Amino acid sequence: MSIKTDTRHLYLQVIDQIKKDIDTGLYKEREKLPSEFELSKQLGVSRATLREALRLLEEENVVTRRHGVGTFVNAKPVFSSGIEELFSVTDMIARAGMVPSSQYLSTEIVEPTEEETKKFHPINVGTLAKIERVRSADGDPVVYCVDKIPKHLLPMEYLHKEGSLFNLLEEYSEKRITYAVTFIEPVGFQERISSILNCEPGQSMLLLKQMHYTEDDEPILYSSNYFRADKFGFHVLRKRL
């Protein structure tokens, strides 16, 4: 299984080989990889080269390294979506052939922070309805959601309705979300959220911060969604101009 020399850096060849070995089933999901000493010997590279490859594989969420324990193969995401496509969490779960459901943790009326006031500009929001929910797929908790909506857009009794907030906003306020500006951040263990989502120790999450807009560029929904990284994968199509 020794790496063959080509024009690319060795660590890139190592990455490709380990991914290939995972795809072919040599290393299975949640299985521990051989030690750095054994793996570098098998691949015919230095441990420094192997460590760089493992570091990048961890950034891609292919593996998880646990200090003093070893490196483990991550489970492949159950849900995969192009980040340029805007779907509600409900739709993403349903499109994967699973049954979506919600558990409401809290609903309250809050004053917007200075940052949120800027995000909702030019709307003068006054107060926001804040909804905390856990979204499940076939009963398995997979996303922790914090949504904030200008209070006048949805009455309190609507906030506990099952289903997509996208659809509720369109049904009650006749405002259709057409696009969102999204920022993605990898986040580590969060004591409350990780336990709610049944994350394993050291398991990372993907935090998507999104401001949603109507076709008239009106900001109407701000979301902070924590996705289990072992369940969700996002990709984007990039074109050279």
pLDDT score of 121 more than 70: yes
> CATH code for 10-73?
1.10.10.10
pLDDT score of 115 more than 70: yes
pLDDT score of 234 more than 80: no
The CATH class given to the 89-228 domain equals alpha beta
Whether the full predicted model's pTM is greater than 0.85, yes or no, is no
Q: pLDDT category, 237, cuts 50, 70, 90? A: low
Q: What percent of the chain shows pLDDT beyond 90? A: 49
pLDDT at 84: 65
Mean of the pLDDT values across residues 184-207? 88
Tokens of 34: 């051989």
Q: pLDDT category, 200, cuts 50, 70, 90? A: confident
205 vs 185: CA distance, rounded Å: 9
Which of residues 15 and 30 earns the better pLDDT score? 15
pLDDT at 75: 75
The pLDDT mean for the chain works out to 86
Residues pairing with 165 in the sheet: none
Mean of the pLDDT values across residues 142-159? 89
Q: pLDDT category, 215, cuts 50, 70, 90? A: very high
Q: What are the tens digits of pLDDT across the range 54-97? A: 999 988 778 888 888 899 988 776 666 656 667 778 888 888 78
pLDDT at 97: 83
pLDDT at 165: 86
> What does DSSP say about strands 79-82 and 232-235: parallel, antiparallel, or unpaired?
parallel
Domain ranges in the chain are 10-73, 89-228
